[in-house]
Structure 1
Amino acid sequence: AEEDAEIAQQVKEIQKSEQENSKEQEEYEARVTAQMTAADYEAVETLRAL
């Protein structure tokens, strides 16, 4: 049971870390997107659609 609690705690820490990384990634992408021109944005959308 103690081992399970440790594993559960590690999982929580990993999930928290992933959420923080995801938030940082979203902020980074928002900054990059804000700097893109419309043409750049269209090119990215076209590539994503492939």
Structure 2
Amino acid sequence: YDEEKASAYMKRDELVIGVDLGLGRAARTVWTCDLTHRYIDINADYRS
């Protein structure tokens, strides 16, 4: 694990994450939202 390399990768606009479930070959695209520390802080301050 190279923390400097991982940190640089996580700062990219798009990330590729591979998952091997051992069930054959397939591909999917997943779009996510911003989950920065600030976003979590804002949403942790209230109850729904």
Where on the TM-score scale, by shorter chain, does this alignment land: which range?
under 0.3
Instruction: Compute the TM-score of the two structures, normalised by the length of structure 2.
Output: 0.25
| Larger proportion of helix | 1
Instruction: Compute the TM-score of the two structures, normalised by the length of structure 1.
Output: 0.24
Larger Rg: 1
